[in-house]
Chains A and B, each alone.
Chain A
Amino acid sequence: MSVPEVGDLTPVHVAPIARRSRRRSFAVLAVLALAVVALLSQGLLRNLNYFETVAQAEAHRATLGTRQLRLEGIVEAHTISRTNDGASFWLTGGKYRVFVRASGSPPQLFQANIPVVVVGHFVNAHAQRFNASQIMVKHSANYIAAHPKRVTAPNGTAR
């Protein structure tokens, strides 16, 4: 097959659609860069440590005042009581304990002896009482199989 003789090979005009597509891609890149900045400033840099433990909060009570914070501790056994608008319980961390009065329905896994993060504020700079608007359960990384039907109840049913 013979190749035809080359004549005028002036570059063809680039279709506007290709340029538009490129511009759109650069615009998407710019939006994504803004998204990263927003995520970094909103999420990561503000919340590198998502919560303060009960012990840490107690150590900084003077500076914390009544400002909003996330407080982490273990729900003390036999202290949970349901209130009209939520629940109240004692939260422990090391040798410290704080009384929490939370509004709103607690999460499904909320129970005694489980770590939780409560969002709210201390009622004043000295009291051990914390008013929370939200409870989050912080479950552990351990997975232990429940063994149902291994215990026979007095009425003969397996539990």
Chain B
Amino acid sequence: MTKTLLARLLGPLTLALLALTFGLGLWVTPPDQVQGNLVRLVYVHPALAWVALYVSFGTATIASVLYLWRRTRSATLDRIGACAMEVSVVFIALTLITGSLWGRPTWGVWWAWDARLTSTAILGVFALAYLALRRALDDDETRARRSAVFAIIAAINVPIIHFSVLWWKTLHQGATVFTANRTLLIHGSQAWTLLVSFVAFTLSFVWLLRARYRLEVTRDQSRQRDFNEALAQRRREGARP
């Protein structure tokens, strides 16, 4: 009952929070001292990057680790890992696109080959490679095991992306929220709107993941039904004199 109610509320709640983010970001929050109205992209881009790198890629990695651990190994975890990685591709692409749209008027260039941008692009390629790997393998167990190992190896890039702005000199700015001394470098209503955006985009990930997972389950069931039917047909053919 509670589960159904939560599932039903997830979509409307996500849309409401996204609408609230855009409302606050476009009309309520003030412009920035330096960036003026360009600052409004801060309510979209960092939240997308948060979901892409930590939430979705993190979910795929945790699901992969749990799949490889014999005690928790299940087809459900393999499905969650694959679905989270697919959603991750979408969010990484949106992160790169919004970053580029923000970079042109602020930096003056659409793209810079600095450590943060390049390592994020590499993560996107890793996510695509994960999906290609899954399509290349026929056996369910082999596919699940190899893609889980690949996801864990690819996840090494996530802390590199996170710390790139600290380890190396980049054109990309440093951390605003997750600073080394825990000091929030954004003020007043801007900070609250940023928080709302993080919650909104995280919920949108959960919503998308749930929808994608249900589609995968339906596809698996359909595949199993087709397989059973084909097997029954072969048996009938084999039984003919």
Contact = CB atoms under 8 A, between A and B. Distances in A.
Co-complex (A, B): yes
Interface of A: 3-9, 12, 18, 21-22, 25-26, 28-29, 32-33, 35-36, 39-40, 42-44, 46-51, 53, 72, 106-110, 114, 117, 134-148
Contact of A29 (B109, B133, B179, B234): B133
A145 B33 contact: yes
B24 to A, nearest CB: 13
Contacts, number: 163
6 contacts: A40-B118, A50-B169, A117-B171, A139-B107, A140-B174, A144-B33
Given A32-B132, A44-B122, A141 B108 contact: no
Nearest to A48: B168
B142 interface: no
Nearest to A142: B185
B34 A109 contact: yes
Interface stretch (B47-55, B76-84, B123-131, B218-226): B123-131
B185 A50 contact: no
Contacts of B175: 141
Contacts of A148: 30-31
Contacts of A147: 30
A86 to B, nearest CB: 12
Contact of B35 (A47, A51, A139): A139
